[in-house]
Amino acid sequence: MIIAIDGPAGSGKSTAAKRLAERLGFTYLDSGAMYRAFTWKARSAGIDFSDKEGLLKLVNETDIRIDCSANGSEVFVDGVNVTGEIRQPSITENIHHVSGLEFVRKKMVKLQRDFARGKDIVAEGRDMCTVVFPDADKKIYMDADIRERAKRRHSELETCDDESDIDNVAEDLSQRDHRDSTRQFAPLKRVPDAFYLDTTNMNAEGVVDILIKEIGREQQTD
C-alpha cells in the first residue's frame, strides 16, 4: 500500500508522515532527503548551481540510497552517510537550485519508485501524488496558514540561527511556495482526489489520528 502526502513546507507533513508510518508499521519515505543529498554532493564536488551540464553529469554519476531500520532512516551518497550533513542550513538554502531541474527530478522519481517497490510506505514531498505515485492507494494534501507554518519553522531554526524571526521565516516560506508551485516541472499542487487537511490549529498526534481514521474509512469503502 502506498500513502502519498504532499504539501508546502511547515504544513506538518514530515512529522505526520513519520508518525503515521510508525503507527501503521509502514516504511517512511522522505523524498526531500534525496534532493538534499544531491545538493550536498554538488556543493562537495564544487559544482556551480548554474552549471547545468555539470549537474547533469554529476546526478548521473551519483548513487543516493536511503536505508531504513528501527532506529530511523539514514541517507547515503556514494556509500557515505550524510544523514546529519544534509540538514545543515547551507543545504536548505540551496536545495531549490537543484530541485527544480527536470533531469534531477527524473532521477529522484526513479529512485523513489525503486525504493517503494514491494513495500508498504508513507511517502511525503511536493510531487508524491502528482508525479511519483499518481496511482497511490491514498493521496493526502496537508496545508496550514502561512503564519502558523512560519512559527513552526522558526521553532526548528532557533537552534541553528538565533537571528531568525517569524516575519523573515514567513517571507522565506512564501518565496519557497511560489518557487515550488510555479516551477515548470512537477510543481506543487493539490490533486482533486487528495484528502485535504488544514493543520493550522492541530498538533501532530491530532493530525495522525485524523489520517488513520481517513485511511481506515477509505479501506472500508474499497
* CATH number, domain with residue 83: 3.40.50.300
Is 145 contained in some domain? yes
How many domains would you assign to the chain? 1
Q: Is 42 marked as a binding-site residue?
A: no
Q: Is 164 marked as a binding-site residue?
A: no
Is 152 contained in some domain? yes
Q: How confident is the model at residue 220 (pLDDT cuts 50, 70, 90)?
A: low
Is 14 contained in some domain? yes
pLDDT at 31: 94
Q: Is 15 marked as a binding-site residue?
A: yes
Q: Which three cell numbers stand for residue 180?
A: 515550488
Backbone angles phi, psi at 81, to 5 degrees: -75, 115
Is 207 contained in some domain? no
Q: Give tens-digit pLDDT for 89-99.
A: 899 999 999 99
Q: Which three cell numbers stand for residue 179?
A: 518557487
Is 142 contained in some domain? yes
Is 159 contained in some domain? yes
Percent of the chain with pLDDT over 70: 92
Is 37 contained in some domain? yes
Q: Is 14 marked as a binding-site residue?
A: yes
Q: Is 9 marked as a binding-site residue?
A: yes
Q: Give tens-digit pLDDT for 21-47.
A: 999 999 999 999 999 999 999 999 999
Is 22 contained in some domain? yes
Backbone angles phi, psi at 150, to 5 degrees: -65, -40
Beta bridge partners of 143: 198
Q: Is 69 marked as a binding-site residue?
A: no
Q: Is 13 marked as a binding-site residue?
A: yes
Average pLDDT estimate for 69-82: 86
70 CB contacts (<8 Å, ≥6 apart)?
A: none
* Structural domain for 193, as ranges: 2-198
Number of Cα atoms under 13 Å in the Cβ half of residue 141: 12
Summary mean pLDDT of the chain = 92
pLDDT at 75: 96
Question: What is the separation, in whole angstroms, between the first and last Cα of the chain?
Answer: 13
